[in-house]
């Protein structure tokens, strides 16, 4: 009886387990089917829904509710009902609605998105009066707001609404503001807009391609925690140092990165010169922002004219600057001495400035460029020849990895200029007027690229070829040499040079493009020269003229000797011929005797 009851109980339990399993499987299949159908327009991977470029006209409402990333970039959405985003997707951390057709951003558009950290809303045709100044207020945990592109292009003051909206970020968690291309009209950035960040922890501010021509003095007090500022592609006008934007930047104690690239200043006069420091003032140590690490001033004029620093300049050695990039900025066009105090500088790019650098500039002694690794001075006028025989250019520069002094009109270089650059990997001397390689190469054990193209070199001396051979054998890297576009001469004295270049074709950059002036006066590729044939041509050119000359001399000598030895007979024959000629002239003369 008991066994029968146990059997009945076991069957009931099995039946319940089977039914429950089917219910779970059906429920799972239903959820998967629903999830699949809700994401048939978008790509749903994990907690990310990517609905970009799908021609969507309204907010998708059938996406998984737990997504944290929603990308609606490049669609046709015209309206976001108040609070709908927060009701549907309250877990969102990243929202991209850039490049749509949304015309209204009300104060409740983002209500319910308390977890949102990153918001992108650019390229939407909103009207200034329909962009509420408290639109950002519901974003309790916002970190970054990015707006690329203006609102309604017919409304030139749409930027005003974007700046007014900073009010909603007062006392917020905002850390980065990125506003680009938000206006076509030049304007002054006023403190009334930045004052809302005074008690925030704003660390990054990008106000690029905006037409800012001035910033109201004192703005540094409103963004005291700022670490990075990017004001590129504006039309700022100011002095450096001065009592405006650059002075404010100077006062920012936490600022690490300054980026002002592509700034156009119509007041800049390149032919005018400003000498900011006298010789006595150049002995003073000038302070820089304590936290500053990077300065980017590419294609930016920071004053009305370039500076001349005939005595160099001294900065406080406790600065943290590691990167200075100021190509085509014309901050200074003459540096007559060393720059002291940049002991942490690792990368210095100052190309395309037509600046004269005195030999004293190139030093890595204690207190100067102690940490410099990357030096790019292309398209300037560097002087690498010192009249002081005891001084060494690039002294103690063992940390340097790249030196680019191409297109500097260099004619002479001290032979010992690079003996201390033992860690050098790339040396670019191209585009100058160097006629002969005189620099000592034996110490450059790490060199992998030597560029001496586009110079006036007509040969590589045997001692330099031996130094290069030694570097190829002992260098820790595969050495490549660029000798293109030099007037190399391939004459009968160049057999060893031609043979050397052909032997080291693997080490010569674009070997097929290396040319020289052949013995026949034509320009030929060195790899096309057949050395045995050239040697035979040279031997013919060397042997035939002497042999012919010698033969003519011998023949002339033999003739002289023969004439001398038979001079009497020759004299007799001459007299006889003369007598015969006279007789022929008197054929009718009558003689009495035969």
Weakest-pLDDT range from 273-287, 408-422, 444-458: 273-287
Average pLDDT in the 131-150 region?
A: 93
Q: Looking at residue 7, what is its pLDDT?
A: 54
In angstroms, rounded to a whole number, what is the distance separating the alpha carbons of residues 465 and 248? 56
Rounded to whole angstroms, the Cα distance separating 335 from 409 reads 16
| Res. 24 pLDDT band, cuts 50 70 90 | very low
Q: Residue 547 — pLDDT band, cuts 50, 70, 90?
A: low
Per-residue pLDDT tens over the stretch 188-231: 888 888 999 999 999 999 998 777 877 888 888 999 999 999 99
What pLDDT digit, counting tens, does each position of 470-492 carry?
Answer: 998 887 678 999 999 999 998 88
Q: Which stretches within 418-530 are classed as H helix?
A: 462-474, 495-503
Q: Which of 531, 513, 532 is nearest to 523 (CA)?
A: 513
Task: Return the pLDDT at 1.
Answer: 44
The overall average pLDDT reported for the chain is 85
Confidence of residue 458 (pLDDT cuts 50, 70, 90): very high
What is the spatial distance between Cα 445 and Cα 26, in angstroms, rounded to a whole number? 72
Rounded Cα–Cα distance for residues 56 and 75 (Å): 5
pTM of the model: 0.81
Quote the pLDDT of residue 26. 43
End-to-end alpha carbon distance in the chain: 190
The pLDDT assigned to 35 comes to 42
Q: Which of 180-194, 289-303, 496-510 is predicted with the least confidence, judged by mean pLDDT?
A: 180-194
Dist CA 465 CA 444 (whole Å)? 14
The sign of the dihedral angle between the CA atoms of 565, 571, 572, 573 is positive
Mean pLDDT within 120-147: 92
Do you find a cis peptide bond into 256, omega within 30 degrees of 0? no
Domain ranges of the chain: 540-577
Beta bridge partners of 481: 450, 508
**Span 24-30, mean pLDDT?**
43
DSSP designation for 323? E
Residue 456: band (very low, low, confident or very high) from pLDDT cuts 50, 70, 90: very high
Q: How far is CA 158 from CA 95, 123, 178, 417, in A?
A: 22, 12, 16, 58
Q: Is the pLDDT of residue 391 over 80?
A: no
Report whether pLDDT(593) > 70. Answer: no
Where do the H-state alpha helices sit in 299-450?
A: none
Q: CA 130, CA 65: separation in Å to the nearest integer?
A: 29
| Helix (H) / strand (E) containing 349 | strand 347-349
Q: 256-279, pLDDT tens digit by residue?
A: 999 999 887 777 888 888 888 888
Kind of pairing, strands 48-50 and 43-45?
antiparallel
Residues in the chain, overall count: 594
- The CA-based angle 76-77-82, given to 5 degrees, is 170
What's the pLDDT band for 541 if we cut at 50, 70, 90? low
Higher pLDDT, 534 or 393: 393
* Tokens standing for residue 420: 């201390």
Q: What is the pLDDT of residue 209?
A: 79
Share of the chain above pLDDT 70, in %: 86
How, if at all, do strands 323-325 and 347-349 pair? parallel
Contact yes or no for 299/261 (Cβ under 8 A): yes
Q: Is the pLDDT of residue 6 over 70?
A: no
Sorted by sequence, the CB contacts under 8 Å of residue 314 that are 6+ apart come out as 282, 283, 284, 285, 286, 340, 341
pLDDT tier at 30 (50, 70, 90 boundaries)? very low
> Higher model confidence: residue 550 or residue 134?
134
Residue 159 has pLDDT above 90, yes or no: no
Cβ pair 107, 134 in contact under 8 A: yes
> Which position has the token pair 């901050």?
331
Find out whether 71 and 49 touch, Cβ atoms under 8 Å. Answer: yes
- How much is the pLDDT for 33? 40
DSSP conformation letters of 150-217: -S-TT-TTHHHHHHHGGGGGTTS---EEEEES--SS-EEE-HHHHGGGTTS---EEEEESS-EEEE-T
Strand partners, 259: 230, 296
pLDDT of residue 44: 92
Tens-digit pLDDT profile for residues 374-384: 999 999 999 99
* The two structure tokens encoding residue 566: 């038979």
Please report the DSSP string for 37-95 in residue order: HHTSSSEEETTEEE-TTS---S---SS-TT-SEEE--S-------TTHHHHH-TT-SEE
CA–CA separation, 117 vs 133, rounded Å? Answer: 19
């Amino acid at each position: 009886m008991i066994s029968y009851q146990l059997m009945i109980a076991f069957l009931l339990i099995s039946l319940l387990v089977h039914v429950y399993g089917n219910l779970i499987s059906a429920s799972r299949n239903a959820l998967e089917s629903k999830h699949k159908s809700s994401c048939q327009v978008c790509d749903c991977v994990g907690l990310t829904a990517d609905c970009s470029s799908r021609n969507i006209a309204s907010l998708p409402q059938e996406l998984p509710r737990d997504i944290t990333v929603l990308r609606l970039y490049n669609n046709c959405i015209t309206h976001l009902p108040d609070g709908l985003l927060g009701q549907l997707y309250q877990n969102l951390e990243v929202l991209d609605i850039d490049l749509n057709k949304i015309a209204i951003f009300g104060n409740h558009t983002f209500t319910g998105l308390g977890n949102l950290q990153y918001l992108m809303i650019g390229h939407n045709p909103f009207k200034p009066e329909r962009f509420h100044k408290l639109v950002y207020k519901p974003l309790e945990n916002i970190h970054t707001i990015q707006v690329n592109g203006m609102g309604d292009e017919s409304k030139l003051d749409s930027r005003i609404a974007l700046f007014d909206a900073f009010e909603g970020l007062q006392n917020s968690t905002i850390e980065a503001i990125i506003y680009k291309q938000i206006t076509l009209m030049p304007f002054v950035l006023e403190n009334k807009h930045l004052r809302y960040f005074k008690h925030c922890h704003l660390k990054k501010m990008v106000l690029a391609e905006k037409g800012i021509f001035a910033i109201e003095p004192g703005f540094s007090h409103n963004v005291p925690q700022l670490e990075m500022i990017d004001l590129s592609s504006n039309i700022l006008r100011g002095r450096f140092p001065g009592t405006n934007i650059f002075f404010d930047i100077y006062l920012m104690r936490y600022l690490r990165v300054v980026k002002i690239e592509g700034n156009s200043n119509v007041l800049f006069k390149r032919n005018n010169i400003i000498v900011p420091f006298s010789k006595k003032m150049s002995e003073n140590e000038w302070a820089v922002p304590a936290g500053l690490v990077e300065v980017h001033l590419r294609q930016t004029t920071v004053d009305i004219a370039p500076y001349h620093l005939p005595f160099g300049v001294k900065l406080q050695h406790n600065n943290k600057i590691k990167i200075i990039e100021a190509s085509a900025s014309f901050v200074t066009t003459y540096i007559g001495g060393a720059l002291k105090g940049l002991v942490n500088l690792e990368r210095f790019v100052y190309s395309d400035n037509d600046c004269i650098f005195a030999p004293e500039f190139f030093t890595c002694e204690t207190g100067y460029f102690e940490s410099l690794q990357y030096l790019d001075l292309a398209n300037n006028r560097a002087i690498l020849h010192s009249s002081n025989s005891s001084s060494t250019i690039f002294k103690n520069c063992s940390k340097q990895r790249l030196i680019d002094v191409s297109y500097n009109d260099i004619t002479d270089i001290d032979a010992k200029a690079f003996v201390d650059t033992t860690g050098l990997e790339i040396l670019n001397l191209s585009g100058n007027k160097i006629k002969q390689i005189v620099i000592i190469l034996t110490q450059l054990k790490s060199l992998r690229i030597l560029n001496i193209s586009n110079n006036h070199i007509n040969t590589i001396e045997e001692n330099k070829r031996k130094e290069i051979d030694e570097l190829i054998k002992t260098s820790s890297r595969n050495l490549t040499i660029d000798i293109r576009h030099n007037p190399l001469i391939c004459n009968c004295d160049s057999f060893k040079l031609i043979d050397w270049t052909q032997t080291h074709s693997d080490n010569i950059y674009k070997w097929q493009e290396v040319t020289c002036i052949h013995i026949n006066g034509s320009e030929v590729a060195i790899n096309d020269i057949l050395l045995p044939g050239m040697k035979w041509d040279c031997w013919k050119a060397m042997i035939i003229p002497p042999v012919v000359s010698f033969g003519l001399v011998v023949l002339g000598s033999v003739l002289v000797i023969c004439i001398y030895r038979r001079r009497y007979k020759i004299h007799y024959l001459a007299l006889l011929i003369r007598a015969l000629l006279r007789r022929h002239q008197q054929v009718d003369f009558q003689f009495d005797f035969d």
